[in-house]
Structure 1
């Protein structure tokens, strides 16, 4: 979002919660106090009964003038000194504020993520930077810890090991797989089926002393945690590292590239100039559609009594890129989108379809009544290779689909119309799920997201991990950041959260919550628990697909001063505000069931909330399964573990929450709406020089280009490589 605080009314920034707030003493209370008050002249004279008898000798006029001049000079000197001192203090205070504006900037900087490809060691030899620091401090300067670097020399600059093809897909040709699922038909980039799909490459190791993430664990979610990706292995097969004359993008000529050509020993260069990704997706699905679930009507029509027992059917996913007219697609963005389509849709045998949900900003364009206008709008606003993948929408269209009024708004902080994309980005997602209802899940993805590893591994493993999560304690666990170095295993974290919940004043979430209202849609019957909370042994919900997966914790906005917490419409203002949940950044995976409920709540009930609140709140109200996926998040400062847990998971009062006035704590990490470290790390990985560091010369003179683990980045507003 371009701005999160437009036209804010300061009086509305105070939180409506049972928490009490600290108040500063007023000026009146200070001056009325005997500690601050001054005695009057009248009271002084009463305490000096002989004052009327005191007599002073007369002064001469010359002496009076001299005294006045001296007083003026003395006053001037004192005033000048005070001003100079004030200026000096002010200047130095400003310097200090610029250097350390926030408390976390006092923590030491971490630098392990900048260790290059020449320092790669096998995973079992890897010592995280934080662990190395602790060992070094424990041993002291007299007995230093020696780093286990691979041998490096000026003459030999290639990585110590070679990259390998990265394959996160199941062995679809195995007897075990084919006994449960239908055969996967191979997909190709061209209609003649002569152009094979490209592979990506990873290095089987980690740069020594590479920084460990503070939040999340790809190991916990079943991803390959023993490899790292450089820019050549990740994007080379999509055209990054060969010329435009060969059908690539020719972006690597100025980059440090020792050993990068080894991938061409196995990989063929693809001419992308004539690739039609939309057609390739459709062909892939048509070849494999027997593998996927059908709706009830289709299944009944095709089912015969003589048919053999069906094999397991897989769900389908719509992977939706929310874009808009006028958006500029850089070469780096094109590489990212090619990776998404190839890895999610084609190499999976049609499990995903990638879509562009393109917002037409000009409401006067008749996109719903003119095929010519529709086609031209796409061609003017998307690279040609993606033309066949776009669906257009406009705010004017949403006004007709979800007509006003949306009454009883508590407070519109944004001062924007309810149909504006800023307040209702979810309208287009709900509408898309109604017109394209053939999918089981819809990924709501933003254009400033980046991923260093495989899209299929990341999305597939997260979905499977969420599916295996039990319902008991799920909302409570999802409201906290998982800090492996502090919390230990996920099992230990689960037990810790249960203990914290038991010792708190709050009741755990167990099915749809009860709250006062004047009209709600019925919740699905399967959303109600079959047993008491205490009787459940973390069984209910295991094996159940999550209705919403978020990438930041799902918190209660009423316990924070998050600025949009009261943007709630359609509920009775005579009653307390409905309970709400929120996850910052609208990026998420949403089930068809949840999107249908969101649509009906909007259309029939006229219920509405700010986009980051609406999907989690509907899931909360109707007892659906909601999961925060603890992916890895890196920090650029070495926070003490107890401090980071206290700040992010246990703020002492609502105004300290990191989802509100405390959002500055997120600046130094790799994933949040305002994370500054995110784009710095991403661009350094691409070979750019950032803040006077990195770039080709430094990489060549040092440990080489960066090689980073599977990491999700947000936001990346612009990209730049080696120059």
Structure 2
């Protein structure tokens, strides 16, 4: 017994010597470092590993490469415009902008400098004169055009042929939709595979600009100016890097009973019934709700308000010769050159690093509140302690991501180089909000297909005017087709991009406000910016004032007043002249911005 006690005493002495004060301090320090590391991980990357507790027996998809910078295309070749002249060599087809005498208007949010937009102004005649505005006046000093003889589809294809040598072999012309057999078809009769994958396609370096319209739409003169300018300034001035398409909702849910996909004759009748002006008929693609139901029976909802991207998903499936798809609206108005505007937005997105792209997208950059974009960039980084909430795929159990693995495991060890020079898979036109933060988003509970329900990480970026890559649209299509996964329209593109680890960008385009001196209102939008954010991922509360006075916001009523007054038609005598219009020599000059929405006056 004594020997045993001696052995125990010896062991106890050794035990006490091992746990000295110094070793306890070291142990506590190690525990503290581990705890803080886990806290940071849960704060900055807690969505990256949701659902990873159980093994996933599904076959993982092929992942995209970590780096994917494409070489620049060769120099653009000039194309012919509607007057038969090469654009850039025809004064009658030129936009006639000028610089403003005095300081250029400072945006309420966003920036001209960072987006690279020209600081120019134009009158309505200088902007839309090449496209028919004012041609009924005696002082119209441009060559007149018989617009009913113009075929914008042919002009776009001629431009592509002049530039074919610039593009990879994957690029093709867009067939005349009046004569080509429709590619859209009901699911059981489609000639394309029901699911297609990103690695099946080579880059074409072309982008489709898809303008949504519908049967019964009343095409006013300003709509025609808009569409003509969009095609001329994007496709024809870019050497066919763009292709404008009209995507026409036939509104069969409102009693239109012609089954346009039943036969070629039925489709031809649909083209006649669609009401598209003759000059645009060769670029009109028709779709119906019945088509969407045949492809997405598990979704159960196909109305535009809920699933605006379903036709775009089918477009990517059936027309994979485009790398990217812009969804634009008929009620948008580019007050400057549309092609230069989209080129600038695309360039900003291409050059944005992946690190903290989501975090930067969750704040509006307001120069008056934070200074230039460099300061904004720095404060977002500080608010996130050098980390990122979206580093690689934002893991949810239902999604097997196709996006690339990050170059390093910890975003704090990356110096904002990853993704620079790569095309963005998702480009939004306004800032994004976290659906899981306090908010009054009307669609917050509209989600299906996720075991976490409304707790699933989602981001919404209204309005749903966005650019999506073919790769992104194809994985959304597959998720809806096979699993019935759904989120509302304005959350679809950003959320799926983040779940798959695809590149997202919000180029901070300039936006103005009617009440520029209402600083209390602006403060409610700013909400302290990055410095006041506890997470670094947007303001802590997503609620904000109504956006009726903004130049670009889904519920704005100021945008149409700006446009129509600029065009020479005052909508409301009691409404003061929009302050962003400058009066010089008896003419109104507008800055280089985009307006939305510009509804038809009643």
- TM class by shorter chain equals 0.7 to 0.9
Q: Secondary structure at the match of 1:662?
A: coil
Cα distance in structure 2, aligned partners of 1:542 and 1:701: 41
Checking the alignment, whether the CA contact within 8 Å between 1:189 and 1:277 is kept in structure 2 is no
Which residue does 1:268 correspond to in 2? 143
* 2:263 is the counterpart of 1:378: no
Q: What's 1:513 paired with?
A: 394
| Partner Cα distance (1:180, 1:552) in 2 | 27
Q: Could you say what secondary structure the match of 2:238 adopts? A: coil
Say whether residues 1:218 and 2:112 are aligned partners. Answer: yes
1:324 and 2:214 correspond: yes
Question: Is residue 580 from structure 1 mapped to residue 441 from structure 2 by the alignment?
Answer: no
SS at match of 2:290: helix
More displaced 10-residue stretch of structure 1: 207-216 or 643-652: 643-652
Partner-residue secondary structure (3-state), 1:568: coil
Distance 1:490 1:241 in 2: 40
Asked if 2 retains the 8 angstrom alpha-carbon contact of 1:237 and 1:270, the reply is no
Q: Secondary structure at the match of 2:165?
A: helix
Deviation at 1:608, TM superposition (A): 0.7
Aligned partner of 1:307 in structure 2 is none
1:613 offset after TM fit, Å? 0.8
1:583·1:613 contact (CA, 8 Å) conserved in 2? yes
Q: CA RMSD of the aligned region, Å?
A: 3.3
| Other-structure match for 1:522 | 401
**Equivalent residue for 1:615?**
493
Q: 1:670 aligns with which of 551, 555, 559?
A: 551
Deviations 1:432-484 (A, max 9, x none): 11111100110011111111000110001110111101112111110010112
Equivalences for residues 290-305 of structure 1 within 5 A: 290-295=165-170
* Paired residue secondary structure (1:460): helix
SS at match of 1:689: coil
How many angstroms does 1:616 deviate by? 0.7
Residues 582 and 590 of structure 2 are in contact (CA less than 8 Å); yes or no, is this contact kept in structure 1?
no
Which structure has more RCO (C-alpha within 8 Å, separation ≥ 6)? 2
The structure 2 residue matched to 1:348, chosen from 222, 238, 241, is: 238
Deviation of 1:645 (Å): 4.5
Which of 188, 197, 200 is 2:80 aligned to?
Answer: 188
Q: Corresponding residue for 2:600? A: 718
Deviation at 1:719, TM superposition (A): 5.2
Q: Does 1:566 pair with 2:454?
A: no
Shift, 1:534, TM fit: 1.1
- 1:639–1:488 CA distance, 2 compared to 1 (3 A): same
Q: Distance in 1 between matches of 2:576 and 2:468?
A: 39
Aligned residue for 2:510? 632
Report the CA distance between 1:219 and its aligned residue.
Answer: 2.0
Give 1:392's aligned residue: 286
- Secondary structure in 2 matching 1:374: helix
Aligned to 2:359: 476
3-state DSSP of counterpart to 2:508: coil
Distance 1:648 1:394, change over 3 A: farther
Q: Which runs of 5+ in 2 are unaligned?
A: 1-70, 173-202
Asked if structure 2 preserves the Cα contact closer than 8 Å seen for 1:647 and 1:657, the reply is no
Q: Deviations over 1:362-395 (max 9, x none)?
A: 2532111222222232233101111100111111
* Residue 44 (structure 1) aligns with: none
Match of 1:705 among 580, 587, 593: 587
Tell me the matched-pair count: 487
Give the drift of 1:680. 1.2
8 A Cα contact 1:549 1:628, kept in partner:
yes
The Cα shift of 1:218 comes to: 1.9
Q: Which protein is bigger by CA-based radius of gyration?
A: 1
Cα 1:640/1:182, change in 2 over 3 Å: same
Distance in structure 1 (CA, Å) of the matches to 2:147 and 2:171: 40
Whole-angstrom distance in 1 between the partners of 2:540 and 2:209: 29
Q: Is the 8 A contact 2:125 2:133 kept in 1?
A: yes
2:411 pairs, out of 533, 536, 561, with: 533
Matches of 1:689 and 1:461 in 2, distance apart?
32
Among residues 151, 159, 166, which one is paired with 1:284 in the alignment?
159
CA gap 1:335/1:399 in 2 versus in 1, 3 angstroms: same
In 1, the alpha carbon distance for the partners of 2:583 and 2:336 equals 26
How far off is 1:208 after superposition? 4.4
Give the superposition deviation at 1:700.
Answer: 13
Question: Per the alignment, do residues 659 and 576 of structure 1 end up closer, same or farther by CA in structure 2, a change over 3 Å counting?
Answer: closer
Residues 385 and 527 (structure 1 numbering): CA distance in 2 closer, same or farther, change over 3 Å?
A: farther
Indicate conservation of the 8 Å contact 1:480/1:649, yes or no.
Answer: no
C-alpha distance in structure 1 between counterparts of 2:347 and 2:592, whole Å? 17
TM-score by length of 1: 0.62
Note the alpha carbon deviations across 1:596-639, whole angstroms, 9 max, x for none: 11111111222111111111110111111111121111112234
Following superposition, the deviation at residue 586 of structure 1 comes to: 0.6
Q: 1:214 to 1:594 in 2, by over 3 A?
A: same
Alpha-carbon distance in structure 2 between the residues aligned to 1:283 and 1:242: 26
Partner of 1:368: 261
Distance 2:363 2:246 in 1: 32
Per the alignment, do residues 235 and 217 of structure 1 end up closer, same or farther by CA in structure 2, a change over 3 Å counting?
same
Contact kept in structure 2, 1:217 and 1:631, CA below 8 Å: yes
1:440 corresponds in structure 2 to: 323
Q: 1:534 to 1:210 in 2, by over 3 A?
A: closer
SS in 2 for 1:613: helix
1:520-544 Cα distance to aligned partner (Å, 9 max, x none): 22333x2534342111111111111
Q: How far apart, in 2, do the equivalents of 1:568 and 1:700 lie?
A: 46
Kindly indicate whether the alpha-carbon contact (under 8 Å) linking 1:521 and 1:601 is maintained by their aligned counterparts in 2. Answer: no
Match runs of 1:18-97 below 5 Å: none
- How far did 1:501 drift? 2.5
SS in 2 for 1:355: strand
Q: Distance in 2 between matches of 1:531 and 1:507?
A: 11
